[in-house]
């Protein structure tokens, strides 16, 4: 396949990640508008975030299993249709209860999409480039934090929260067209059997790696879930500066995805250790120095970099742990990350509520990262040692 055709296909796959990242993270910025518009409280409106995360956790393995016989291209199209409908339904929801249901439905295709897109991208780029394929597709998530989330949040604040989900619905339609036009029919990407996909669940390393991701990534969400009040109350920054700082976090994620993807292709194990070490160091520095905005701003960037060293490594490790069922294995990565989302936010909230202050989640993040690293050390002892695959020259 020509390089330009591969590039277009990867762009289409990344565009889906952009839409998913926008709907996932922009919701956090419009909770006050949702609460006001539906006549409820901010804590209660926060259930829409939990509903989306639950949809990801449930949908990632379930959709991968149920749709096992479909070709990967057809499945990508179906998942993007479901994603678009879920966000459109969110925009039209008349009550909080219906919005919660709509957000759950919108979350169902999230993990399966990234799982299938990673398999398709890896196939298109060829052997030895799984890390770069995953990083390119995950780049949609990182770019969403630079452009999509600030734009969607601004629209929600100016035009009402429904406009945020309508924007995501439009992104879904554009992605659907791009997938239809640019992702090719590839014989090797046909469907498998349900039994073959279920075989992933028999692999101990699939469960170990999912656990490592769920715990190790929890530290990121312990801090990021409360980054706005941390920067305003602990660092003394103005609210008007927050979108720019959060965009800088997205830039860091983009840099981290690029570096982490390349390092993952060199060695998944090394990439994970670097990710754990970098996250531990950066979170420690954040806890010690973020009272100063001059320290907090570059550290927010570095948190984004460190986090994305782990993301492609976890996903590729899952794919390699069950080569016969890569779609389900890769999808479980996003189930794990959304468990990390919920667990990290809960832990961060607990230490803040206990009166330890807004920098306390960073110490909680250090602890969760170290526990994740310890679990990885245990998992790595029992893992097979595959021979490295070197990428060919383009």
Domain shared by 316 and 173, yes or no:
no
Q: What ranges in 93-203 are assigned the alpha helix state H?
A: 96-125, 130-143, 149-159, 161-182, 194-198
Domain shared by 312 and 236, yes or no:
yes
pLDDT at 394: 33
Burial class of residue 160 in the structure, from the number of CB atoms within 10 Å of its CB (0-12 exposed, 13-18 middle, 19+ buried): middle
Contact 21, 144 (CB under 8 A): yes
pLDDT at 1: 54
Q: Is residue 82 a part of any domain in this protein? A: yes
pTM: 0.76
Q: Which two tokens stand for residue 201?
A: 């669940």
Q: What is the mean pLDDT of each run of 10 residues along the chain (394 residues)?
A: 77 95 85 88 80 88 83 93 98 97 96 86 77 79 85 88 97 97 74 67 84 92 83 86 83 87 90 95 97 95 89 84 73 83 84 89 96 94 56 38
Domain shared by 135 and 263, yes or no:
no
Question: Quick check: helix, strand or coil at residue 302?
Answer: helix
Domain shared by 91 and 169, yes or no:
yes
Domain shared by 198 and 154, yes or no:
no
Domain shared by 206 and 272, yes or no:
yes
Taking the alpha carbons of 322, 323, 329, 334 in that order, is the dihedral positive or negative?
positive
CB atoms within 10 A of CB 354: 9
CA dist 218 and 367 (Å) reads 10
pLDDT at 335: 84
Domain shared by 156 and 267, yes or no:
no
CA dist 43 and 61 (Å) reads 29
For the chain, how far is it from start to end, CA to CA, in angstroms?
12
CA dist 208 and 215 (Å) reads 11
Question: Quick check: helix, strand or coil at residue 12?
Answer: helix
Domain shared by 216 and 169, yes or no:
no
For position 42, which CATH number holds?
Answer: 1.20.1250.20
CA dist 101 and 168 (Å) reads 17
Q: Is residue 392 a part of any domain in this protein? A: no
CA dist 281 and 273 (Å) reads 12
Burial class of residue 125 in the structure, from the number of CB atoms within 10 Å of its CB (0-12 exposed, 13-18 middle, 19+ buried): buried
Sequence-separated (6 or more) residues with CB below 8 Å from residue 231: 237, 241, 242, 245, 293, 296, 300
Domain shared by 234 and 379, yes or no:
yes
DSSP secondary-structure letter at 27? H
Domain shared by 169 and 94, yes or no:
yes
* Domain housing 249: 194-384
Domain shared by 241 and 204, yes or no:
yes
Q: Is residue 17 a part of any domain in this protein? A: yes
Question: Quick check: helix, strand or coil at residue 231?
Answer: helix
Domain shared by 178 and 264, yes or no:
no
pLDDT in tens, 328-361: 777 787 788 888 887 888 888 888 888 898 899 9
């Amino acid at each position: 396949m020509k390089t330009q055709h591969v590039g277009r296909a990867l762009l289409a796959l990344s565009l889906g990640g952009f839409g998913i990242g926008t709907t996932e993270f922009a919701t956090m910025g419009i909770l006050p508008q949702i609460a006001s518009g539906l006549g409820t409280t901010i804590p209660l409106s926060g259930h829409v975030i939990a509903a989306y995360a639950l949809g990801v956790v449930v949908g990632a393995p379930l959709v991968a299993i149920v749709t096992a016989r479909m070709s990967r291209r057809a499945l990508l199209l179906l998942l993007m249709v479901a994603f678009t409908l879920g966000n459109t339904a969110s925009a039209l929801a008349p009550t909080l209860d219906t919005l919660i249901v709509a957000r759950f439905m919108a979350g169902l295709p999230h993990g399966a999409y990234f799982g299938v897109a990673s398999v398709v991208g890896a196939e298109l780029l060829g052997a030895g480039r799984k890390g770069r394929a995953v990083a390119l597709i995950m780049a949609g998530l990182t770019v969403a934090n630079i452009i999509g989330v600030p734009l969607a949040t601004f629209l929600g604040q100016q035009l009402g929260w429904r406009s945020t989900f309508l924007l995501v619905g439009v992104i879904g339609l554009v992605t659907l067209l791009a997938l239809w036009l640019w992702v090719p029919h590839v014989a090797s990407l046909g469907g498998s059997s349900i039994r073959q996909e279920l075989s992933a669940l028999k692999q101990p390393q699939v469960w170990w790696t999912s656990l490592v991701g769920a715990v190790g990534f929890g530290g990121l969400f312990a801090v990021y879930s409360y980054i706005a009040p941390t920067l305003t109350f602990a660092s003394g920054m103005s609210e008007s500066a927050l979108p720019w700082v959060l965009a800088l976090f997205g830039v860091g994620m983009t840099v981290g995805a690029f570096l982490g993807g390349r390092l993952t292709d060199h060695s998944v194990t090394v990439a994970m250790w670097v990710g754990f070490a970098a996250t531990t160091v950066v979170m420690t520095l954040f806890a010690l120095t973020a009272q100063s905005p001059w320290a907090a701003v570059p550290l927010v960037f570095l948190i984004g970099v460190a986090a994305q060293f782990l993301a492609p490594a976890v996903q590729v490790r899952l794919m390699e742990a069950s080569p016969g069922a890569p779609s389900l294995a890769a999808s479980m990565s996003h189930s794990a990350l959304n468990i990390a989302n919920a667990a990290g936010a809960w832990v961060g909230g607990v230490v803040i509520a206990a009166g330890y202050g807004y920098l306390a989640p960073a110490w909680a993040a250090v602890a969760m990262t170290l526990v994740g690293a310890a679990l990885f050390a245990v998992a790595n002892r029992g893992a097979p040692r595959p021979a490295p695959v070197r990428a060919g020259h383009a």
